[in-house]
Amino acid sequence: MNWGIWGLVLISAFIQVASVQWHRDLLQVWQQQSALKLTLTQENTRLVLEKSALTAPGRIDKIARQQMKMHAPQSTRVLQP
Interacting residues with other proteins (CB under 8 A): 23-24, 27, 30-31, 38-39, 41-42, 45-46, 48-49, 52-53, 55-58, 61, 72-81
Which CB, 8 or 47, lies closer to other proteins?
Answer: 47
Closest approach of other proteins to the CB of residue 57, in Å = 4
Give the three-state DSSP class for 70. Answer: coil
Other beta carbons within 10 angstroms of residue 64's beta carbon come to 13
Closest approach of other proteins to the CB of residue 8, in Å = 25
Closest approach of other proteins to the CB of residue 23, in Å = 8
| Alpha carbon distance 26, 12 (integer Å) | 20
Amino acid identity at 54: L
Which 8-state DSSP code applies to residue 80?
-
Which 8-state DSSP code applies to residue 55?
T
Which CB, 1 or 54, lies closer to other proteins?
Answer: 54
